Chain A
Amino acid sequence: MSTALAPSRAAPLAAPAGFLRMFSGFRVLLPFAALVVLWWTIKIAAGISDEVLVSPATAFAAFVRLVDTGVLAEYAGTSLRMIGACAVFSLAVGVPIGFAVGVNRYAARSCEGFLRFLQGVSGIAWLPLVIIWLGLSYKTTLAVVIYTLIVPIVFNTMIGVRTIPENYVLALRSLGAGRLRLATDVYLPGALPSIVVGLRLGMGYGWRALIAAEMLVHSGGLGDLIFSARTFNQIDRIIVGMIVIGCLYIIVDRLIVQPIENLTIARWGVLRK
C-alpha cells in the first residue's frame, strides 16, 4: 500500500510548473462552477421567470453584448479611473497631513477625536448635501469618495507616527539629522505599515461609497450601470455588473494593495494581521 502511495505523491512534484498552476487555477474555479450549477438548477427546477432571475447562459450573453458594444469598458473605466484618482489624491494629501498631526502630541491629541467622528459619519451620508453643493456630476462622486478614503489614511498615518519609539527620533537628532532626514528615515518607514492598513480600510470603504454614489448620482460608473438596469428590470445586466464589480475589487486589492502590504512587511518586518 505504501509503495503504491509513494509514487503518486511524488508525481505532482515532478510535474511541470504549468500543470501545477493549472491545477491550482482549477481549484479556485471549482467552487464557482458548483455555484453556477446550483444557480442553473434552481432556475430550472423552480421555474423562476427571467423577470426575477436569469439563467447563467442569459447572463453570459448579456456580458458578451456589453463587452461587444463597449458599454462595459466605458462604465468600468469610469469607476476605475475614479477610485484610482481618489486613492492617489488621498495618499498624496492624507499622508503629509497625518505626519504633520502625528509628530506633535498636542496636535495628535486634539485631532484624534475629530478624525474618529469624521470616520463615523460615512462619506455617503454627506451625499445629499454634496449634491446640493456640486450638483449631479462626477465632482460629487469624487468628493464623497475622497472624504471616505482620506479619513482612515490620515488617522492611521497619525497613529503610525505616534507609535514610533521616541528614542529613534532622539537618536537621529543627536546625530545631527534635520527634519527632512527624520521624515524619510524614521517617520516614513516607521509609519508605513500603519499607512497601508489605512489605505486598505479606506479602499474597502471607498469602493463601496463609490458604487453607492454612482447609483444615486447617475453619471456613469458600474453603480450607475446596475442601478439603471434595475429601472428597466434587466436582471442579466445587474448580475453581470455585480460580477464585474466583485472581480475588479479583487484585482485592485490583490494586484495593488496587497503587494504594497507584503513589500512593507517584508522590508520592515512589522507583522500585522
Chain B
Amino acid sequence: MSAVAPSASSARLRLDRVAWMLLPAAPFVAVLAAWAAYWQIVRPPAATLPSILAVVQVVGDIAGDGRLGANVLASLWRLLLGASLGILTGVVAGFATGLYRGISEFLSPLVIFFNAISGIVWLPLMIGWLGIGTALAVFVIWNTVFFIVFQNTVLGVQLVPEVLEQGVRALGAGRFETLRSVTLPGALPYILSGIRSGLGFGWRALIAAELVGAPSGLGQMIFAAGDYHRSDIIIAGCLIIGVIAIAMDRWILYPIEQRTVQRWGLITDAEKEGV
C-alpha cells in the first residue's frame, strides 16, 4: 500500500506535467477541429473556406515552385532595410534630441503629430512620389519604426540619472566617454523595447503597404489571391505572416531584450510581461 501510493501520485504528477506541456496546443487543435467539422458538415465552396488539407497542399505547392520563398524574402528584405534605417536614424536623432532639453521640447509636438500619422497614412502621397515598389514599402517601415524608436530613445536618455553622468565626468571622462559608458547603457533598455514594439508595428505596416502597393511580397501574395478567390492561399499566407512575426519576436528581439535587462536591470514590470 505504502509502496503503491507514491508511484501512483508520481504517475499523476507526470501526467499533470505532460498535460501542462500540451496545453498551449489546445486552442489550435480546437480551431482546426471546428474548421474540419464545419467543412465536413456544410461543405462550403472552396472560395469561401477551403479544407485544411487544401491549405496544407497549397503551402507545399507555393513552397515547391519558389513563389513562397521569393515573397517571404521580398518582405523580409524590405523589413530589414526599413527597420535598420528606422533604428539607426531613430537612435541617432533620439540621442541628439534627448541630450538637449530645449530641442526635445521644441520638437515634441511635431513628433507626437507625425507619430499619429506614421506608416500607412503616407501611402497615398508616397505612391505618387516613390512609385509602387520596394522604396515605398521601405519608407513606410522606416516611418513607423523611426518615431517609436526615437521617442523611446529620447525618454531613455532623459531618464538616465544625471548624477551618474556627473560622477563619471568628475573622474575625468570626456563628453564622448560619458556618452559611451553611462548614457548609452542607461538608455539601452528603453531603446530595445522601442525597437521591439517598433518592429511589431513595422511588420503590420509592411503587410498593409504590400496589400496596397507592391509588385511582390507576402501582402501582395494574399491580395492577389483575393482577386482570384483563392482563400487557400490567403489562409496559408496569413498563417505564415503570423509564424514569422512570432519567430522574430521570440527568437531575436525577446532574447536581446532579456539579456540587456539582466545586465543593466532597468525595466518596468509592464515590459517584463512582454506586453
Contact = CB atoms under 8 A, between A and B. Distances in A.
B18 to A, nearest CB: 13
Contacts of A132: 47-48, 226, 229, 231, 234
Interface stretch (A2-10, A88-96, A109-117, A184-192): A109-117
Contact of A52 (B123, B129, B155): B129
Nearest to A213: B208
A208 B113 CA distance: 14
A272 B271 CA distance: 9
A114 B117 contact: no
Q: What bracket does the count of chain B residues touching chain A fall in?
A: 35 or more
A253 B107 CA distance: 19
Contacts of A113: 24, 27
Q: Is the interface of A mostly helix, strand, loop or mixed?
A: helix
B212 A239 contact: no
A212 interface: yes
Interface stretch (A13-21, A28-36, A172-180): A28-36
Nearest to B113: A246
Contact of B120 (A116, A129, A208): A208
Interface string A229-273: 110010100110111011101100100000000000000000111
Contacts of B24: 109-110, 112-114
Given A121-B241, A230-B127, A273 B203 contact: no
Interface in B219-275: 219, 222-223, 225-226, 229, 231, 234-235, 237-239, 241-246, 249, 268-271, 273, 275
Interface stretch (A39-47, A60-68, A69-77, A197-205): A197-205
Interface of A: 27-32, 35, 51-52, 106, 109-114, 116-122, 124-129, 131-133, 155-156, 159, 163, 194, 197-198, 201, 204-205, 208-209, 211-212, 215-216, 226-227, 229-230, 233, 235, 238-239, 241-243, 245-247, 249-250, 253, 271-273
Interface of B: 20, 23-24, 26-28, 47-48, 105-107, 109-110, 112-114, 116-117, 119-125, 127-129, 155, 201, 203-205, 207-208, 211-212, 219, 222-223, 225-226, 229, 231, 234-235, 237-239, 241-246, 249, 268-271, 273, 275
